[in-house]
Amino acid sequence: MADDIWIIDDDRSVRFVLAEALRDAGLSVREFGDAATVREALRKGRPALLVTDVRMPGASGLDLLGELQAREIGPVIVMSAYTDVATTAAAYRAGAVDYLAKPFDLDQAVASVQRALADAPQADAPAPAVALPSHALLGESAAMREVFRLIGRVAASDLNVLVTGETGTGKELVARALHEESARSSKPFVALNTAAIPSELLESELFGHEAGAFTGAARRVAGRFEQAEGGTLFLDEIGDMPLALQTRLLRVLAGGEFYRVGGRELIRCNVRIVAATHQDLDARVVSGQFRADLKHRLDVVRIALPALRERRSDIAVLAQHFLATAAQELKLPPKRFSKAALKAVAQRDYPGNVRELENLCRRVAVIAAGNEILPADLGQAPATAHGDWTDALRDWASRALADDEADIHSRAREALDRVLLEAALAAHQGHRQHAAAALGVGRNTLTRKLGASRTRKG
Ligand SMILES: Nc1ncnc2c1ncn2[C@@H]1O[C@H](COP(=O)(O)OP(=O)(O)OP(=O)(O)O)[C@@H](O)[C@H]1O
C-alpha cells in the first residue's frame, strides 16, 4: 500500500527522531538504512512519500532518485548536510520536491512532508491546481494536470517534444509554455505552420535564402531556424510536411547545421524543436507519408492533449476566463454567466475544442444585452457541418458590432437571402418555382426576396 512514509538514512538517530516526529503527526513510517533495502522493498510496494539522505554507503540518495524517477512513487524529499548548489540542484533535477538541510528543524521537516503529501496528485482525489505562470494554460481536470506535470518535467531539458491533439486543443500554447519554462525563455520562440505555407516556399521559410537564390529573392533572408537561434522553434502541423523537406529537416536535426537556400556558408544552429500535429503520425509513418527516422527525432517526449469533450470539467473554468477576457479586451462592462447558461455551455459539443469555446464566449460577450449571460444569449449550437460559414458570419458580426455599424441584422439577412437564392437559381437553371421548392419557401416569397435583394443591391 502506498500510504507509508519511507525514511532512508544510514544514520540511525536521524531516522529515529524524524520517524517519531512523523508518527506523532499521525503518519505511518518505515525506516531504511540504505538504498539496497529500499530497492528490495519497492518490489512489494511503494511509498506515499520518500525522505532520503544523499550520502550513504552504497548507492547515494540521488542515485536512488534517478532510478525511481520513471516509476510511479510519491513525492521525494531530500535531506543532507551538503547544501551546495550542485547537490541541491541535482536533487531537484532528480525530481525532489523539497530539500532539507541537516541539521533540520523537526517541525519544519514534518511541515514539509505534510505539504508534499497535500500537493501530491492522487488517483481519486482532485489535486490542487497546478499553476503555470504567464502563459495562461488553464485546466483542472486530471488529464490537464498530467499535461502540466509533463510540461514542468521536460521544459528544462533540451529534448524535442511532439505535441499531439485535435485542432484547437492548445498545442501551440503548450509549446509556448515549454519555451517559457525553459532556460531558453530569454531567446526567441518562433512558430511556423507547415501546412499553411506552399511546399515550394517551405524550405526557404525554414532555412532562409541568399540573394538571387531564386526568382524574386532580392536579398538575403534569414529562415525560422536562424530567427529561433538559442530558442525554440515550433513546427505546427508537422504531419503535412512534404517528404523532400522531411529529409532536409532530418539532416539538419542530426547534424545541427544547414545551408541557406542558394548559400555556401554552413550555419550551425542551436534550436529546440517542439512539433505538433493533429494527425496520427504513427499511421503516416506506416503509410509512407512520414519518415520514421524524423519521427524518432521529434517524438522524444510526447504530450498528448485531450479533446475538450474528454475533460468536460474544464469547460466552466475556461468559459468564465474567456468571457472575462473578452469583455476586458472589447472594453465592455464585466460579464458573467448565469448558472443555467454556464450549465448549457458545459453541455455543448466543441468539435473545434478550446478555440471554439473561446469564440463562443467572445460572441456572447458582444451580443448579450445584459451583464449576466442567459441561456438564450448562447444561440443555437452551430452544427458541425456549417461551422465554417457561421464562423465567418460570426466574425463579420463581431466586427460590425464593434465598429458600431448600422442595420447589421437586415444587412446580414439580405446577404443570406441573396446567397441562398442565387445558389438555388443556379442549381435549377434559373427556374424560380423549382428553386423555391428546393429552398423550402413559397414562390411568392422567393420573388419578393429576389425583388428586395435586387433593389438593395441596385
Ligand atoms: N488550456 C487552455 N487554457 C487557456 N486557453 C487555451 C487552452 N487551450 C487552448 N487555449 C486557447 O485556445 C485557442 C487555441 O489554442 P492553440 O492555438 O494553442 O490550439 P492548437 O491545438 O495549436 O490549434 P491548431 O491545431 O488548430 O493549430 C488559443 O486561443 C488558446 O489560447
Instruction: Tell me the pLDDT tens digit for each residue of 115-174.
Output: 888 877 654 333 333 333 345 788 888 888 888 888 888 888 889 999 999 999 999 999
Hey, do 4-119 and 142-304 end up sharing a CATH topology, with the first three levels equal? yes
Q: Which of 317, 323, 325, 355 has the most ligand 1 atoms within 8 A of CB, as the residue to mutate? A: 355
Percent of the chain with pLDDT over 70: 89
Count CA atoms within 13 Å of residue 243 on its CB side.
8
338 or 330, which is more confident = 338
Q: How far is the CA of 355 from the centre of ligand 1 (A)?
A: 6
* φ/ψ of residue 339, rounded to 5: -60, -45
Q: Reply yes or no on whether the pLDDT at 367 is more than 60.
A: yes
Q: Is 100 helix (H, G, I), strand (E, B) or coil?
A: strand
Closest C-alpha to ligand 1, atom 26: 167
Which element (helix H / strand E) includes 234? strand 232-236
Q: Which fold has domain 142-304?
A: Rossmann fold (3.40.50)
Which ligand 1 atom sits closest to the C-alpha of 358?
12
Q: Reply yes or no on whether the pLDDT at 271 is more than 60.
A: yes
For the chain, the structural domain boundaries read 4-119, 142-304, 310-402, 408-457
β-pairing, 76-80 vs 49-53, is: parallel
Tell whether ligand 1 has an atom less than 6 A from the beta carbon of residue 311.
no
Q: Reply yes or no on whether the pLDDT at 70 is more than 70.
A: no
What number is the ipTM of this complex?
A: 0.98
DSSP state of 81: S
DSSP state of 71: S
Query: Among 1.10.3210.10, 3.30.70.360, 1.10.8.60, 1.20.1050.10, what is the CATH number of 310-402?
Result: 1.10.8.60
Architecture of domain 4-119: 3-Layer(aba) Sandwich (3.40)
| Cα separation, 366 vs 323, whole angstroms | 10
Q: How far is the CA of 387 from the centre of ligand 1 (A)?
A: 18
Closest C-alpha to ligand 1, atom 18: 170
Tell whether ligand 1 has an atom less than 6 A from the beta carbon of residue 278.
yes
